[in-house]
C-alpha cells in the first residue's frame, strides 16, 4: 500500500466523525435559533470530532476492524451526548 492509499484510508476512517462534527452544531443552530449558546461553533465541532474519532479508534482496537455498526452507533450516541452537554 503506497502513501496515497494510506492517506485515503485514514481520511475515510475519520469521515463519519467529521460529518457529525460539522452537522450537529449546525443543526443546533438551525433548530434552536432562539437559544443562545455559550460555546462557539468551532469549539463544538472540534470537541465532537475528537470524541467521535476517539470512539472510532476504541472500536477499531476492540473489534480489530473498522466499519462495525456497533462502533458507529456508539460514536453517534457519544457525539450526541457531547452536543447535548454543550447546549
Which range, of 8-17, 22-31, 49-58, averages the lowest pLDDT? 22-31
pLDDT, residue 33, reads 72
pLDDT, residue 1, reads 83
Domain ranges of the chain: 3-86
- At 46-78, the pLDDT tens digits run 999 999 999 999 999 999 888 899 999 999 999
The verdict on pTM exceeding 0.85 is: yes
pLDDT, residue 34, reads 74
C-beta pairs of 51-55 under 8 Å, 24+ apart in sequence: 51/78, 51/79, 51/82, 52/16, 52/17, 52/20, 52/21, 52/78, 52/79, 53/14, 53/17, 55/17, 55/79
Amino acid at each position: 500500500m503506497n502513501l496515497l492509499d494510506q492517506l485515503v484510508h485514514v481520511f475515510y476512517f475519520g469521515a463519519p466523525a467529521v460529518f457529525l462534527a460539522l452537522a450537529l452544531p449546525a443543526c443546533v443552530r438551525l433548530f434552536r435559533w432562539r437559544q443562545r449558546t455559550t460555546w462557539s461553533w468551532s469549539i463544538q465541532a472540534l470537541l465532537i470530532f475528537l470524541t467521535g474519532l476517539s470512539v472510532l479508534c476504541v472500536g477499531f482496537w476492540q473489534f480489530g476492524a473498522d466499519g462495525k455498526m456497533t462502533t458507529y452507533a456508539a460514536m453517534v450516541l457519544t457525539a450526541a451526548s457531547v452536543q447535548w452537554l454543550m447546549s
